[in-house]
Amino acid sequence: MGSWGYVQIWLMGINLLGFLLMGIDKQKARRGRWRVKEATLFGAAFIGGALGCLLGMYIFHHKTRHAAFVWGMPAILLIQLGLGAFLLFK
């Protein structure tokens, strides 16, 4: 497997994790239990899981009233897409 294959596996895994973290945090919030730290959610997004976190936000209707998430997650995704395009077409 080439290095591109490892990148694809990483991106699938971290995006799935980001998506699941949003869902888990939403369930915990509904039940008044422990919460996933916002730093953890942004951390997952920052290391490649922005798309999964963004999808989780809107599918689970979670953190959609928090400006830091409404603007931050798409900004992180745009930066990642730009970096990916740069690396692919350099």
Residue 2: its pLDDT value, please? 80
What is the full per-residue pLDDT of the chain (90 aa) written as tens digits?
788 889 999 999 999 999 999 999 999 999 999 999 999 999 999 999 999 999 999 999 999 999 999 999 999 999 999 999 998 898
pLDDT of residue 35: 95
Hey, how many other C-beta atoms are within 10 angstroms of the C-beta on 90? 5
Which residue intervals of the chain are DSSP H helices?
A: 3-31, 38-44, 50-59, 67-89
Task: Provide the pLDDT for residue 90.
Answer: 83
Q: Render pLDDT for 56-73 as a digit per residue (tens, 0 to 9).
A: 999 999 999 999 999 999
pTM of the model: 0.92
